[in-house]
Every structure is written in C-alpha cells, then in structure tokens.
C-alpha cells in the first residue's frame, strides 16, 4: 500500500499541548507549538531537563510527574520506542477521556495496536525529521517544516482525534500522509532502518581491513561520497537497535532483499558482465530522484 497525502483544517491555538520526553523531537515540537501560540506542558525524566525547558521558554510548565499531563488536551509521546506503550499505560490513570494521545515513533505496527487498546483516543504518528545531534540542547524551530509527517489510523481510530493530530502537524508545516501501520513499517524499513544497517555494515567492512596501513589510508582518503553513505551508520546505537527490535519482520525482509541485490552485483562482476552492470547502474541513476 502506498502512502497517500491528506489535508485538514488548521485549528486555533486554544488547547493545551503536553509533551512527554523532552529530547530532540520533543524539544522541537515544544518550540514550534509555543511559536504557534499554544500552551505547552512538558515532562522529562531529569529535573535539570525540565528546568532548562522552562528557562528557555520552550514550555510553560514542566516536571517529572506524568500527572502534569492531566491538564493537556493533546499529548505527544516523544520517548524512545521501547517506552511508548508503557508510557500510555502510565498516562491512563491521569488523563480525562477526552485527551488525545499520539506518538512520534518510527515503528507503528504493534505500538499502535497496543496503545489504542489502552487508550482509544490514540493516534499513531511519525514526523520524519531529525538531526545528527540528539537531546534538548539540539532542539530548534522549524525542524518539521516541509518534512513528511505520517499518521497511521486503524479501524477503531476516532476521527476527531485523527483530525486534531493532522491539524497540528499541518500547522508545523509538515507534508501530511496517511498509511496503515503495516505499510508504514515496510516503507520505513526500506528507506530508514535498512540504510542504518547498511551504513553500519559499510563502516564495519572498512574496520575489518587486515592491513593497518591500508585502513589508515582509507580513513585519510575518505571524502564526501563515503561521508554521505556512512552518515546514518554513525548515529545513535540505541535507536538503531530499537529499529531492529521493534520493526524486526519488515527490516529482515528489506535486508534479505538487499542481500539478493548484492549477490546480483557480485555475480555480474565475477562473470564480467560489464554492459549488464552499467545498465543496472543506469536504472539506479534514473530512479534516485524519486526518493529525494
């Protein structure tokens, strides 16, 4: 299933937005929502983080207790993927039934099903934006502008909740798409999670060079091409491991497809089929603009 774009009416900034997890994404959401005129409450694990968020004007109120979210009309869960569903379960005892809860995780499948069971007003979401840096200190305005924001409703998702999440994402300047959780996870496995594993493997290939002098020379000669293809492999290891853990089936499928493509290239080079290899590279060259 391909992603399809959707649109929604923007809403007036008259509701309170809660953000659980004041890292990069949570911090960027807080900054943008404040600039849009919303009242923003934030929850983080460390008191020092909550203090910085208030001092820098990212949020109106902040603390370490999820009870603070009881005042929010819409709560964004911006925790690591492993904590999204547990956070929903913890929020249940604090929220009125009208509160809408959404997340920003890059895997939707089981997360959306479990979170919706715990909280019927849940909407799966994934703003596809980020930076090499992490943490609240790296947060900035406008991170989501012109970037994809995927919502993943299921049959029981409430339309009013979906509309509200789409309205906020629209105000952030994002390009809004809708997908089933399963289609989202397969697409993201191919264009996000697979590149992390491939990029990491590229770095390990260089690391495995047995000749120390050659290894050092490769490090010295590496320039923009290698930097581009290895960038995501040098990202947050914890996040990469969670991608594999929570999107295991889809990622394995993509890795197996990629291994098949590598085997094809190896075979063409072994049998010296240069015209076929050139044709293969030409197809890749022609297809690449579709992914930019």
What is the predicted pLDDT for the residue at 220?
A: 95
| CA 57 – CA 64 distance, rounded (Å) | 17
What's the chain's Rg over C-alpha atoms?
Answer: 21
Whether residues 142 and 231 share a domain: the answer is no
What is the predicted pLDDT for the residue at 10?
A: 47
Q: Is 6 a member of any domain?
A: no
Whether residues 201 and 59 share a domain: the answer is no
Evaluate if pTM is beyond 0.85: yes
What is the predicted pLDDT for the residue at 115?
A: 98
Question: What's the token pair of residue 176?
Answer: 């809004």
Q: Which of the residues in the chain have pLDDT under 70?
A: 1-13
Whether residues 169 and 58 share a domain: the answer is yes
Whether residues 101 and 208 share a domain: the answer is no
Of 159, 179, 199, at which residue does a domain stop?
Answer: 179
Whether residues 122 and 222 share a domain: the answer is no
- What torsion, rounded to 10 degrees, do the Cα atoms 76, 45, 133, 36 define? 40
Residues paired with residue 179 on neighbouring β-strands, in sequence order:
none
Question: What's the token pair of residue 164?
Answer: 């509200």
Whether residues 188 and 175 share a domain: the answer is no
Q: Is 283 a member of any domain?
A: yes
- CA atoms in the 13 A half-sphere facing the CB of 26: 28
Q: Is 22 a member of any domain?
A: yes
Q: Is 200 a member of any domain?
A: yes
| CA 8 – CA 43 distance, rounded (Å) | 28
Cα-Cα-Cα-Cα dihedral sign, residues 280, 286, 288, 290: negative
What is the predicted pLDDT for the residue at 205?
A: 96
Residues paired with residue 122 on neighbouring β-strands, in sequence order:
101
**The total number of structural domains that make up the chain:** 2
Question: What's the token pair of residue 260?
Answer: 């098949």
Whether residues 281 and 239 share a domain: the answer is yes
Whether residues 161 and 190 share a domain: the answer is no
| CA 21 – CA 27 distance, rounded (Å) | 8
Q: Is 9 a member of any domain?
A: no
pLDDT digits (tens, 9 = 90+) for 240-258: 999 999 999 999 999 999 9
What is the predicted pLDDT for the residue at 82?
A: 94
Domain that holds residue 203: 184-290
Whether residues 25 and 166 share a domain: the answer is yes
Q: Residue 174 is part of a domain; what is its CATH number?
A: 3.40.50.720
Q: Is 259 a member of any domain?
A: yes
Q: Residue 281 is part of a domain; what is its CATH number?
A: 1.10.3660.10
Whether residues 174 and 189 share a domain: the answer is no
pLDDT digits (tens, 9 = 90+) for 42-75: 999 999 999 999 999 999 999 999 999 999 999 9
What is the predicted pLDDT for the residue at 13?
A: 64
What is the predicted pLDDT for the residue at 31?
A: 97
Whether residues 167 and 40 share a domain: the answer is yes
78 CB contacts (<8 Å, ≥6 apart)? 19, 20, 21, 22, 23, 25, 26, 29, 103, 104
What is the predicted pLDDT for the residue at 14?
A: 82
| CA 5 – CA 87 distance, rounded (Å) | 29
What is the predicted pLDDT for the residue at 149?
A: 98
């Amino acid at each position: 299933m391909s992603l399809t774009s959707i649109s929604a009416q923007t809403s007036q900034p008259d509701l309170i937005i809660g953000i659980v997890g004041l890292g990069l994404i949570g911090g960027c959401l807080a900054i943008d929502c404040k600039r849009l005129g919303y009242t923003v409450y934030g929850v983080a694990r460390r008191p020092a983080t909550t203090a910085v968020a208030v001092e820098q004007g990212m949020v109106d109120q902040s603390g370490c207790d999820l009870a603070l979210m009881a005042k929010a009309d819409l709560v964004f869960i911006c925790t690591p993927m492993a904590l999204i569903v547990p956070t929903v379960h913890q929020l249940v005892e604090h929220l009125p039934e009208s509160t809408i809860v959404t997340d920003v995780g890059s895997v939707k499948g089981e997360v959306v099903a479990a979170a919706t069971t715990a909280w019927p007003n849940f909407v799966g979401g994934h703003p596809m934006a980020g930076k090499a840096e992490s943490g609240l200190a790296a947060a900035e305005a406008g991170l989501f502008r012109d970037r994809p924001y995927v919502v993943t409703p299921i049959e029981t998702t409430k339309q009013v909740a979906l509309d509200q999440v789409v309205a906020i994402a629209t105000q952030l300047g994002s390009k809004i798409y809708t997908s089933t959780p399963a289609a989202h996870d397969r697409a993201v496995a191919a264009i996000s999670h697979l590149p992390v594993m491939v990029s990491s493997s590229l770095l390990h290939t260089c690391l495995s060079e047995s000749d120390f002098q050659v290894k050092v020379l490769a490090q010295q000669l590496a320039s923009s091409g290698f930097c581009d293809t290895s960038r995501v492999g040098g990202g947050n290891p914890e996040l990469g491991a969670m991608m594999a853990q929570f999107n295991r089936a889809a990622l394995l499928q993509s890795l197996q497809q990629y291994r098949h493509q590598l085997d094809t290239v190896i075979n063409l080079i072994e049998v010296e089929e240069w015209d076929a290899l050139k044709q293969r590279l030409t197809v890749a060259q022609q297809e690449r603009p579709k992914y930019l």
